[in-house]
Every structure is written in C-alpha cells, then in structure tokens.
Structure 1
Amino acid sequence: MFRRKAPWLAAALGLALLAPVPAAIAQQDERAVGFSAPTALGQTATVPDWRMRSSAGLTVEGDRISVPGFPERDWLRVPARSTVMAGLIANRKYPDVNHSTNLQQVDAKDFQVPWWYRRDLVAAPVPGRHTFLRLNGGVISRGEVWFNGTKLAGTDKVVGAYPMQEFDVTALLRPGRNALAIKAMPADPFRDLTVSFLDWSPLAPDNNMGIWRDVNLTSTGPVSLLDPRALPKLQLPDMRRADVTVKAEVRNNTDRSIITTVGGDIERARFEQRITLAPKETKTVEFAPVRIDNPRVWWPAQFGEQPRYTLNLHVAGSDSASRKFGIRDVGSFLTPEGYRKFTVNGKDFGVRGGGWASDLFLRTQPGRLADQLRYVKDLGLNTIRLEGKEEDHELLELADSMGIMLMPGWECCTKWEAWAKKNPTHPWTEEDNRVAAESATAEARRFVNSPSILAFFIGSDNYATAAIEKLYLDAFHKVDFRVPVMPSAARRPSSQQPPPILGEAGMKMDGPYWWIPPNYWYEKKNGGNYGFASETGPGPMVPELDSLKKFLTEAEIDDLWRKPDQAHYHLAKKQVFSNLGDLVRAITNRYGPIKDREDFLWKAQLSNYEANRAQFEAYGRDFSAAEKPSTGVIYWMLNNAWPTLYWHLYDYELGTNGSYFGAKTGLRPLHAQYSYDDRSIAVVNTGLNEVAGLTVEATALDLAGTVLSSETKQVTARANASVRAMTAAKPASVNGAYFVRLVMKDASGKALDRNVYALSTKDDKVDHSKVTWWHSPTVEYGDMKGLQDLPAAELSTKDARSRVRGDKVVTEVTLRNDSKTVAFFQRASLRKGAGGEQVTPATWTDNYVTLWPGEQTTITAEYRISDLGGKVPHVRLSGWNAQQREVAAPLF
C-alpha cells in the first residue's frame, strides 16, 4: 500500500534512502547505513536495500540475526526487492549470466539452503502512534520474519509469492537502532505457489527464492485506513454520468472502542461518515455513490485518452491515503459461435496483445520497464497478458497512464495448476487453498483501482474445479475486484464438464508456437484468424547481429545456420523448441540456400517480418467478420525473461528487428493490407471514427520493378472494423516471386499508409491433418528464391539530421533509391558515433522499407540523448541488396 508521499520519501520510488545515523552507532559499524522509520502519520517508507547471506555456515538464527548491530562483515549488500540470484548478480559473483552458457556454471546447490536478509533501521517511537511492518508480496517460497530479536511469523504463515503480510511492531520499537531480519526458504515451482519460467527460458538457479517485492514500514494513529477503492459505474451507452462508490477498510489498532470520522473527496465532491470501532475491529466503510456528470472517460490508447481522477481519504488525526482511478467499463460476452469478445465502455474491443515475461531473476528495473511499454505502444499493441508474472505497481501505473490493457492471471504447468492433473506429484492441500485465496486477495487489492485491467485468468492451460473457481471468486468479491474472470486461457477438454460458475472461456490455445508460413494465419483452422487465440506465434525470432553478439560467441552465432538441428542453449530446454531446423529449412526452401552469416541474418529478418505482419493483419481484418470473427490474439511472446532466439517482438537487448517492424506494420491503426487467402486488399480501422475520402492504390511489380498491374479504389474505412477494397490477382506473366505495393492516401492526397509485400505465385501449404499442440508442418513452400538475385541497389540520403526535444533526440533521415533496381528490405539503425554501438531503445516510424527506382521516404527515430554517450548520432544503412554505409546525423 502506498500512502500520500512525503517529500523525503525517495525510497518509495526505488531510490536509496539514507537517514542520519547517530555518531555512536556509526562508530560501532561504519558500514551500517541507518534507515529511518516514518516520522509522520500516514507515511510509508520502503526498505531501500538489504544485507544478504546464505545460512550455510551460520551458527545463529533469527533471534540473534535480528538484533541491532549484528556483525555483517561477510554479508552482501543487495537492492530492495532482490531475489537471491538477483543479489548475487548485483554483487558480480558470476560472469555475465546472459552470455553463452555462463548460467550453467551457477551451482544450484547453493540455493538448497535458506538465505537470510537483514537491515538495521533508526526509529523514534511516539506515544499513541502505531508502526506496522508490511510485506507487499510473499517471501519466495516461505519465510520467517524477525524484528528486534522477536519472531513475528514463521513459514506456516509467510507462504507463497503473492500474499501480503502486516505486523504491528509498535511494542517492539526501540528509540534509536532497531533491526529486521527475514529468512527465505528454498523454492520449488512444483511444490510451491511461486513464480517460474518453465519453457520460456532456463529456470533461475535459485528458483527465484527471496524477497521480490517491497517491504514497508508505515506509521498511523489509533485507526488505520486500508485499501481505499473507487468503484465507478459508467452510464452506457451515452456516458453522460458515472456513479463512483468509495469503499475502504478501517482498523482499530487499540484495545479500546473508538468513535471517529472517515472522510474524503473526489475533486469537488466531499463525503464523510462517523463510525464506531470495537477494540481491534476492522470494518468496511462504504460511502453513498458520488455522482459525476459528463465524466472524463478513460479509454485504451487506440480509442481515446486516459484521464484519471484522484480519491483522497482520511481518518481524522490518524491516517490518510490517495488513489488514482479511471472511469471506464469493461465487459465480455460469447459470440453465437462461442468465441470470447471483450468490450470497453460499451465498444467492441479487439485484443491485439503480447505475452509478458518478467526479468528471469525478478529484478526491479523501472527504467527498462518503461522502455518496454513505450515499445508496446509504438508497436500498436493494445493489451499485455501476464501469465503468472504480475510485476509490481510500476507496471500498473505505466499501463494506466499509457492506455495499455492488462490481462493478468496465474501460470500454467506448476503447482498453480496441480489441481488439473489426475495424479499430481504434489496435489493441493488445505494450505494451498489458503495461500491461493490470500494471493488472489492481495493481487485484487493491487488491481482494483487500475482502469487498465481488462480480465483475469484463473487457469492458463487448464480449467479449475468449481471449488477452486469459487475460492478465487470469493477472494475477488471480498475486495470488489470487478472485471471479467476467465476460467482458463484454453479450450475446455470435451471430457470435462463445465463447472457451474464460470462456464466456457471462449478461448483457444491451439498453437502454433513454431515456424509457420504467412498464409497459415488466414486459413481459419487451429491457430488461424478466428475466435480468441490466447497465445500463439511463429516461434523462432532471430535477433540482429548487434544483439546476438551480446549474448552469443562467434561460433554459437554461426552454429545457428551451419548446424540448425543442433540444440542451442539460448533456445528452449523443451525438445520441440530446442533448435532452428524448421526455420532454416523454411528459409532455404522459400528464399534460397544460405550463403553465409550475413545472408542467413537477412533471410531470418525477412521471415520474422513476414510472419508477424501476417498474424496481426489476419486477426485485424476479420475482427468484424459476420462468420468466425477473430475477436482477439495474444502474440507469444512480447518479450524475453533472458536472451533467447524465439518468442519475442523485440529482443532482450531491446533491439527492434524484422519481428518488431513486421508487427508494427500489421498493427497500424489505419492500414491497407494484402490477404493471403483470397488476395483481397482490405482497409482496417481500429479507431472509433469512420474515415471517409480514402484512396487505396494496389500495384503489382516484378522483381525488376516493372509494373504488372495497378488499380486505385476509393474507400471509406468503417469504424472499428475492416472493408475489402479490391483484389490483387496473381500475375500471369510471373513464375515465382513478385511484389505488391499498397499506398493509402487521404482526401488531400497525403500518404497515410504504405505497405510492400514480397509474394510468390506458388503458395505455401500446411498439412493441418498432422497438427500438434505446438506446430503445423509445412509440406510445400512458396518460391521467392528470385529475391536473392536482385541486382545491387544504391540509396542516397539527404536531411540526415537530429534535433533535441527535452531529454530525447529525434533523428530524421530521407532515403532515396537512385539506382535502376528495387531497393528491397532496407534497414536504418542508430549508432553512437561513427562505427559505434547501436542505440537502444529507439522507436522508428518505419523500417525495413522497400523503394522503387526514384522513390523516396523519410523515417524518424526517437531515443534518449543520454544514450549517445556524448557522441554525434550516425545512421547506419544496410539492406537486402545494398552495401552497408553510415551517415552522420548531427544535432542542430
């Protein structure tokens, strides 16, 4: 819980909080850094860092370790929210665990014993005031909590990754120096309700044991204010009024009855209530709904703005709190065919999302998190699915402020779904039921005020029993968490009867998870463009060379194409995802034999681009279809927990390759696109307003750039829907590869969208009769081998320049094709000075562009000025059939 911030409360933002330490204490141990407990009512302080040590070799327990001044000479100083591995990495105990096979060198035996965390702090107890120690998430997997030599709780209470714990330490506080110690027990994802990564990457060697969320000290008066929540009910469909119900828990911390006033405000609306609390009683306070006329409505970014209101609450002279909230309505229903569709503020909402991966070691990285969500918005995605990786308050704030919807839920395949197995090795116990309910309550408390929450998944790959569903639903109801709750992200097995509570999810999890051709997405079979696909994607996504060199050796990079059927450590441990054989066979059959490393990487980027664009375009086109609509898709996955060669839209190094720009093209909000099934040209509009006066030009060209056919149509783009404009037939005069170029302009003639396809007169063919849960085999390949014989092209550049905008740099470069051949698949990247390292993160308006002779385009990048390291920005240009070169883009 976060109280109204005091000016000194830098720690709540993840910064080190250094409070004055009495000279006598400082002389006792110069390495001890004091931490001040809150000194004002309603304040919360976050423990900024810890000292950490293995229990191996320790001969004392918590009664000694939690005594002020306990010697820490062989203890490590680690950040707040630090698992054991995260702490060891921060102390450089291992070589780069992202590089090559270094992670294998970590000895997992080190984590088969408990680890201790401790912290000294400075306090000044005040009569009538109460101080609480709060764990804002569990200790993975279990813990003991000690304060000033006293055990507050043991492993029977501090269990699981998510439950919140709070302890009244008022009676234990001493003037001056105090001490806190937490013992973290070894973790096992198959025994514990914890956090794991399964086949997403190698498991963290410590199984993420330790402290992974904030530990706070909070000061209040005799009455504490807990979990304030604003619960808006928006009048639909006109949205001219909202009624906001305000609720909170108030707790009497004393042994006497108390009569007090709880009051608050939302802008100019004020309210209060007199309440009586029995000794130690906790009571829910509910105020009459606050009426807001003509409310500022919160929308997902593709639909509108993200205004928020502030709820302020206080208990007279005792405690206070503030919460931001948004006024919006989310809902869901099943279409007549049984597909799940979501609504936001009464409007059909086509989910176009990606699956989220937290850092493998659960490190807190607010800056990196913000960079990634800026990528999400730049891509045009509107949703993130969180499968058991719920992150912390930073993600909620970013999503709320940026208009990105979130779909949290529990993870598959570990103890979280042990109830789904007939004979699980570690079946659920009564303790598991309790921990699961506490986890649901804790997460719902965090989510309840966030307008970005779209839904919650109880199961991922399986359906729970009715009893488990009720356990979670009761927990959500307890804290007024009111969003659609999905029983699972998968189809229900035909052998399993629907539980009476949630019924069918209306989801499918039919794959694929590995390479498939672009036309697969249009075939409306298995993972194709119908219904709601909760996780699916074309699998291998090879990063560009800049990123590969950061985590692979030179030999490992060459093995990707020289030995494609060989298992690779930076692929999955699961055998079906362990090698690049399918990708390399597809590349060879479709684009021609691989000549060398550079040739492989260009062909891999083209494969990335084609597959990702097609997936999002297919689901976008048929969102409003009368039959078998494509109601939603979650790309598997958005990002990586650790550097891998598959399942991402941007790589671990925040590099944006063909994967990124193919998806970005397919997700443009007003977009003209080619259909691989019926060769129609569709215009997709994801906004809520119809757009008239558009023209779409479709031109087919051969590999020499000769126009084979051209057609222009006037189009009105329907709101939140698609419309077919024309058909681009296969050219009769071509055998093999050819191009289709689409240009959409507004009524003034301004180009709004440009899209180029490399196509084949021979279609790829998938054998759906041999489909597996992870793959649909390709039995015939398209023929685009002619692309590798394109003559060399030369690009000229002009107006390559940069300007400073706040703390950002905007670099603009105009590319012109001055050669007599097609300049195919041309890439621009930013460099820190001439020949320097690539600048990441950076967002480009477009990339991997194709230009015909005499054609030009201007593309723009934005990035942090600090990431230049004082160097002059350069733009490196390279392409499928163009030599690499660089141009300076000086600041002006």
Structure 2
Amino acid sequence: MTDIDLTNVVQKPAIWWPAFWGAQPLYKANLTVSTSDGGLSDYAEATFGFRTVTSKVNSNNDTLFTVNGQPLQVLGGGYAPDMFLRFDKAKWEMEVKYTLDLGFNTIRLEGKNEHPELYEVADRLGLLLMVGWECCDKWEAWSYNQDLAVPTPVWNDADYVIANASMAHEALMLQTHPSVYVYLIGSDYWPDTKATPMYISALKAADWQVPVLASASKRSYPKELGPSGLKMEGPYDWVPPNYWYDIEPSRSRLGAAFGFGSEQSAGGGTPALSSLKKFLSQSDLDDLWKNPDKELFHMSTDTSQFHQRSIQNAGIWKRWGAPSSLEDYLTKVQITDYEANRAMFEGFSAMWNAKRPATGVIYWMLTGAFPSLHWNLWDYYMHPAGGYFGTKVGSRMEHVAYDYVKKDVYLINHSLNLEGSRTVSLQVLDTSGKVTYNNTVSTSTKPNTSKSIVSLSSALNNIKDVVFLRLVLADDKGNVLSRNVYWIAKSVDTLSWNDSDWFYTPVSKYADYTALNKLATANVSATVGKNTADQTTSITLENLSTGPAFFVSLNLVDSKGEDVLPLTWSDNYITLFPKEKVTVSFQNLSNTKPAAVQISGKNVAESTVNLS
C-alpha cells in the first residue's frame, strides 16, 4: 500500500464554530480515481469544516479546551444509544435540537460511537462531540482495574489486534468532522503500556488533529499522554443545591463546581406522570410514593447502588414532608430535580472565572436507553420535565445565579459577542406575598466571563421559614435576558463531606421546605397568542392572587389529551410573584396538531386552556 498526498489550498476559509458562537460553514472534498482509459475506478467524498481545538492542563491539574483560540467552558451530557442499538437519524437530530435548547455545547459519546449520520447532524447544527472508548467492560479489562462488575479476562494478543483495527476505523471515520473535538482512549481507566502507543499511532496515521486524552478520570495516565485533567468523583445520586457551591477545600469537595467533571449529576430525571403511565403499572406507580426504599426494575440492575430511590426520597421526605398522593410526590420530585440540576449548571457557570475555574461538566446522563426513572434530561418518549427546565435555566447564555453558600449573585455570560450595560432586579418575597427586599443593581458584562455582583447575606439573614428570591437580568434597552426564581429555606442542607461515597455525599441535616405545603391557593390565568415569524405559540400566565404561584407547569396535548412530542418550551415550571405576568412560548416539532395546554402547580389547581 502506498500513501499519496494531494494538496489543495482554500483561500480565506470560513471558520466552523459551535452553535452559540457562530456559523457552521462546511466544505466538501471529492476524490475520483480513474482507469487509464478514463473509466471510473473509485470515488470518495467527505464533508469537513475548518476549526482549531486545543487543550491544556492548568496549574490545578484541570483540563481547559479552546475552540478557535477561545476558552470553552464545556457544558453537556452523556449520550445513551437505544437499548437495542437502533439508530434513527431523525430522532438523533431532534435530540441535538433538545441539547442545544438546553444551552449545552457538548454531547459525550462513550464507546457506542454510532453511525456517520450522527456526526453529519452535529457538524451541521454546531454541536461538539466528546468521543472515546467505553468503561466497565472488555475495553478496560486491565490487570489494574479492580472495578469491573463482571469478571473479564485481561487482554490477549487477539484483543490488541481488534482494538488496533477499531481505533484505525474510528479515527478515519471521525477525523474530518469539525464537531469532534477530543478522543478519550480510556474512560474510567487509562490504557496499558501496549495499547497506548498503538492507539496513538492509529490516530496519527489518520492525521488526527484534535486532543487525545488518556481517560475521563484522574486515577493515573500513560507517560505518552500525561494527566487527563478530568475528574470523575461523582455524584451520581441526589445532592442538595449547596453541594455545587461548597468548593473549599477542593481536595475533599469531589464533584463540586471546580475543574472538569467528565460525568456527574444529582441523579434526577423522573419522567412526568403521562410518561410514567406508559411503562409502569398502577402498583408500580403506587410504590413510588408508598414504598420509597423499594428496589425498582426501571432504575438499575439489582447489583447496582442505584436500584432504588432511597437517597433522593430521603431528601423529599425530610425536606418536604411525606407525600399525600402520587401527584403530590411527583410534584415534589420535579421541584427537587429542577432545583438540583439548576444549581449544578449555575454553579459551574458561576465558577468559570473562580480562583480554581470550573472548566467543564458532563451531566450523567442526557438520555436513557430505555424507559427509566432516573438519569434523564428528557425521558424515553422525549418528554422534558423538571430536571430539563432546571438545566435550561442554569445554562442560559446570559444569566444571573444565586450562590447558596456565600449568598452572592453571579452575572454569567457564555457568549463571545454580548457585552455592555446590564441591570439586575432582585426581590425577596415571603410565603404570604409580602416583599421583604427590593433592589436593582447596575452592572456591565463581558463575553465569556462570570463574576459576583452583589451579596444578599443581609437580605436573607432573618428568614422565618421559606422565602422566594426573584432575579431578573435586563439589557440597556430593558429587554429581559433571564428571569430566575429560587425558594430558599432558613438554613441550607448540611453535607457530611467526610462520609462521602463515590456516588453521593450524605446530608446530616436537611433544609426545611414544609412551609411551602401550606401556600394559599393561587389563581393563574392563561392567554394564548401566536407568533407566525418563528412559528411559535405563546402563553401569557398571570398570577391574579396576592401570594406566589409556585412551580407552574405547562404540558401540550392533542385533542385526545395525549402529549404532543417532541417540542421545545422557552421556559416551564415557573414561579410567579403576585400580580406578575410572564409570557412563554412553545414550538411544536412533531407532526401532531396540538389542541390545548394543561396547567398545574404546587398551589395552583389543574386547568386546561384550548388553543383555538
């Protein structure tokens, strides 16, 4: 076999950017091989884009990526293929749209690197892909890996041959795709001294141009690559929102908001009731709230720490009180998922410019391989629920976020081009609807930065039971860029860091939110509008009451009352202050005609608003 190098110069190439930073210009290269008499011998083509990706390990042993010279804070989730490995390009494209709707820039593919169509969609829509080999199976059957759940023989000579051919194939398939920005040649563990140079040679032979990292963890590394700069120290189950901001001392703070968390989450992702009814029997549904420690098939295997919902349920029972019904339980679960996910992504976003920067985080997991009760940002039926919208708030392009530990408010800017004067309106409301604090802060923002702009220590110093904090960010023309409401108890949850396990940090004393079970019923009206310019439908919610309307959710249904999916909402699970109006919109991405929007809330009676 002979290599032939062909050179072609592209003058002033257009640069490919991730979706939130710019356009995604793509080029096509065609190669034709002809016979001596002019006939066609072979033909090949590839689509590619121009971009530059680098990575470095900083002084804290944390990896920082750059794209086209710009520091990139990675925000993303871990992809799970279908349980039978069925690939559907149309479904994948919808999943990419959901991912971008969340404010993410990355999906991590671990092992199941899928079909070429997956990368074509990511290239076209501007989503970055972190790819690499898989954990917990033959790919990591090294003598020093003692964590394999199923005993697996270490590699023999034939395994190295297969792995070498697999690496060569993956490298050649992926090399032209601008969406691919790193390859992890290990996941939980780094490859051994024979596999590492083999992998590197195969990548080099394919003219690999983006970073190669030894693994997704800091356990160790091969000398050829050096440290990975990624941490994989949990959590994978529920932790309270102050977990992410409790960053000192970092040596004992595990997955908190510093460094690069390659896979971690607060374990949430309970589907909405309409989805649960599609895969659970009535007795299964009853178990969710009547038997909070029961082992459940739709969690994980019976050998897993995640076979039951005990950790999250303990938080719900202790913080909110025992549920009175399935509906009450699911409302409290969605509140918990929303709160936990929002805090995780706000924490990492807020600490982007901290002394020890939060350089990236991958949520475990983006999707589920089958109908599951946890680890979903949207469920198997593509229904987004509380965890999705908490994540979406926490990952907004421009945003203001509350630090549960220091009680500071952070101004966050993930863009490359948005800057100038900003105002932040801050208001604290008690459970009766009385305003106890009102302030407006004038500030300014710069691209790709975060900073603390004001402390609320004094404003939140004398909480009787629970208050609501509303933060509204506006530009110099008064346009609202971000609106965010927190429910804050008298004290935060107390974490027992010294008792942490690999999958969570226990709570020794829980925050008390039971006062929110006694909120006066709120009356919320809804008005429907249409926007033909972007093919969205708007819903204006108005709280007609003198007290707050807490955690108001909206669900789009057809004429039979069935969910209309997939779709995107501009916002959902909204808390309205007294007499406040908030307009949200949805875009129907399905072929089903919507008929109505179902509305409910923690202290808002269920109602239905017809769209016609």
1:371 aligns with 2:94: yes
2:78 counterpart residue number: 355
3-state DSSP class of the match of 2:2?
strand
Gaps of 5+ in 1: 1-281
1:760 counterpart residue number: 489
Alignment equivalent of 2:268, drawn from 517, 540, 545: 540
Q: Deviations over 1:848-878 (max 9, x none)?
A: 111112111111111135222xxx5211111
The answer (yes or no) to whether the contact 1:331–1:484 under 8 Å persists in 2 is yes
AA aligned to 1:673 is: A
3-state DSSP class of the match of 1:292?
coil
AA aligned to 2:132 is: G
1:635 counterpart residue number: 363
3-state DSSP class of the match of 1:788?
helix
Q: Deviations over 1:359-379 (max 9, x none)?
A: 010112222111111100100
Distance 1:884 1:358 in 2: 35
Distance 2:480 2:591 in 1: 33
2:599 counterpart residue number: 877
AA aligned to 2:537 is: T
AA aligned to 2:165 is: E
2:198 counterpart residue number: 471
| Runs of 4 or more consecutive aligned structure 1 residues displaced over 6 Å after TM superposition | none
Q: Which structure has the higher relative contact order (CA within 8 Å, separation 6+)?
A: 2
Distance 2:109 2:292 in 1: 31
1:270 counterpart residue number: none
1:721 aligns with 2:449: yes
Alignment equivalent of 1:857, drawn from 582, 587, 605: 582
The answer (yes or no) to whether the contact 1:540–1:580 under 8 Å persists in 2 is no
The answer (yes or no) to whether the contact 1:695–1:746 under 8 Å persists in 2 is yes
Q: Structure 1's 660 and 420: CA in aligned 2 closer, same or farther, altered over 3 A?
A: farther
Distance 2:356 2:427 in 1: 30
1:688 counterpart residue number: 416
Q: Structure 1's 396 and 681: CA in aligned 2 closer, same or farther, altered over 3 A?
A: same
Q: Deviations over 1:290-337 (max 9, x none)?
A: 1422x2110111211111112122223323332211100001001111
Distance 2:558 2:338 in 1: 26
Q: Structure 1's 813 and 503: CA in aligned 2 closer, same or farther, altered over 3 A?
A: same
1:321-720 to structure 2, matched below 5 A, reads: 321-421=44-144, 425-493=152-220, 498-524=221-247, 525-573=253-301, 574-625=303-354, 627-720=355-448
1:250 counterpart residue number: none
AA aligned to 1:315 is: V
Alignment equivalent of 1:845, drawn from 570, 580, 584: 570
Q: Give, in angstroms, the shift of residue 690 of structure 1.
A: 4.6
Distance 1:332 1:709 in 2: 44
Distance 2:433 2:385 in 1: 25
Alignment equivalent of 2:556, drawn from 827, 830, 848: 830
Q: Deviations over 1:539-586 (max 9, x none)?
A: 132111011001111110110111111100001113310111111110
The answer (yes or no) to whether the contact 2:15–2:51 under 8 Å persists in 1 is yes
CA-atom RMSD in angstroms: 1.6
Q: Give, in angstroms, the shift of residue 653 of structure 1.
A: 1.1
Distance 1:463 1:846 in 2: 41
The answer (yes or no) to whether the contact 2:407–2:455 under 8 Å persists in 1 is yes
1:818 aligns with 2:544: yes
1:794 counterpart residue number: 523
3-state DSSP class of the match of 2:194?
helix
Distance 1:550 1:802 in 2: 31
Q: Give, in angstroms, the shift of residue 803 of structure 1.
A: 6.4
> Quick check: which has more Rg, 1 or 2?
1
Distance 2:418 2:561 in 1: 46
Distance 1:500 1:583 in 2: 41
Question: What's the % identity of the aligned pairs?
Answer: 39
Distance 1:830 1:814 in 2: 14
AA aligned to 1:854 is: K
Distance 1:764 1:772 in 2: 17
3-state DSSP class of the match of 2:181?
coil
The answer (yes or no) to whether the contact 2:548–2:576 under 8 Å persists in 1 is yes
The answer (yes or no) to whether the contact 2:50–2:178 under 8 Å persists in 1 is yes
Q: Give, in angstroms, the shift of residue 444 of structure 1.
A: 1.0
1:777 counterpart residue number: 506
Q: Structure 1's 714 and 644: CA in aligned 2 closer, same or farther, altered over 3 A?
A: same
Gaps of 5+ in 2: 248-252
3-state DSSP class of the match of 1:575?
coil
Q: Deviations over 1:9-44 (max 9, x none)?
A: xxxxxxxxxxxxxxxxxxxxxxxxxxxxxxxxxxxx
Distance 1:422 1:645 in 2: 29
Distance 2:278 2:58 in 1: 47
Distance 2:225 2:238 in 1: 34
The answer (yes or no) to whether the contact 2:338–2:388 under 8 Å persists in 1 is yes
Q: Deviations over 1:423-469 (max 9, x none)?
A: 86411111110100111111111111100011011111011223211
Q: Deviations over 1:492-539 (max 9, x none)?
A: 25xxxx422011101110001111000001112100011111000011
Aligned length: 596
When structure 1 is superposed on structure 2, of 713-722 and 376-385 the one drifting more is 713-722
The answer (yes or no) to whether the contact 1:824–1:849 under 8 Å persists in 2 is yes
2:250 counterpart residue number: none
Q: Deviations over 1:341-391 (max 9, x none)?
A: 101001101000100100010112222111111100100111011111111
Distance 1:765 1:720 in 2: 32
AA aligned to 1:693 is: S
